[in-house]
Amino acid sequence: MTKTIPQAFIRKYEPTCNLHLPDFWASAIINNDQSGLEDEDIQELNDFIEYWEDDIYIDRADIPSDENGCIETHFMKYHDASHLGVLACDCFEYIFTYKPTSSLFNS
């Protein structure tokens, strides 16, 4: 009989980072659906992806919610995409998994 470790257990112990990013990016990040974004928003999101693609799995993003399924949003001027030109906006806290090859994780 082969031993297996449940995926939920493995994911629970993977190193993660929390980033505060615009709430209007949620559909594009979680579902890969950019249909609700303006061209400028798409460019800023692509800049974010390019900036982080070597360090985190963009396609493994999660947005934590409370026991009722509610997601908190906060208006933030200084968030983790502001250096890319994204203005102050409502933000979610996204959780991303580090890639094993990330220089951030290994340092």
Task: Please give the backbone phi and psi of residue 46, each rounded to the nearest 5 degrees, phi first.
Answer: -65, -35
Average pLDDT over every residue of 37-54 = 95
pTM: 0.80
Q: Residue 69 sits in which domain range?
A: 15-106
Q: How many domains are contained in the chain?
A: 1
**Distance between CA 103 and CA 107 in Å, rounded?**
6
In a domain, 2, yes or no: no
Q: How far is CA 36 from CA 2, 23, 30, 88, 96, in A?
A: 45, 12, 13, 19, 22
Average pLDDT over every residue of 1-14 = 55
The model's pLDDT over 55-80, given as tens digits with 9 standing for 90+, comes to: 999 988 999 888 888 898 999 999 99
In a domain, 34, yes or no: yes
